[in-house]
């Protein structure tokens, strides 16, 4: 099964975090990686908010 956009973003974010923790990112790439991580976090949060709203709507319809 193919990974969803959320799963891909989460995996990439985990990879960046691991690189930061292991000092694998040089100073020249640090800013670029941090900015990318910020975009990935925003994308993941947005997806989770959308799912939460969908579930909320679904359960309200059942009442």
Q: What is the DSSP string of 5-54?
A: HHHHHHHHHHHHHHHHHTT-S-HHHHHHHHHHHHHHHHHHHHHHHHHHHH
Q: Where are the domains of the chain?
A: 5-62
pLDDT of residue 21: 94
pTM: 0.79
Per residue of the chain (63 residues), what is the pLDDT tens digit?
667 899 999 999 999 999 999 999 899 999 999 999 999 999 999 999 999 999 998 888 766
């Amino acid at each position: 099964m193919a990974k969803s956009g959320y799963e891909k973003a989460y995996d990439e974010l985990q990879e960046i975090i691991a690189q930061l923790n292991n000092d694998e990112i040089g100073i020249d790439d640090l800013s670029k990686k941090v900015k990318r991580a910020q975009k990935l976090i925003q994308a993941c949060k947005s997806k989770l908010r959308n799912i939460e709203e969908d579930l909320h709507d679904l359960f309200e319809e059942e009442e």
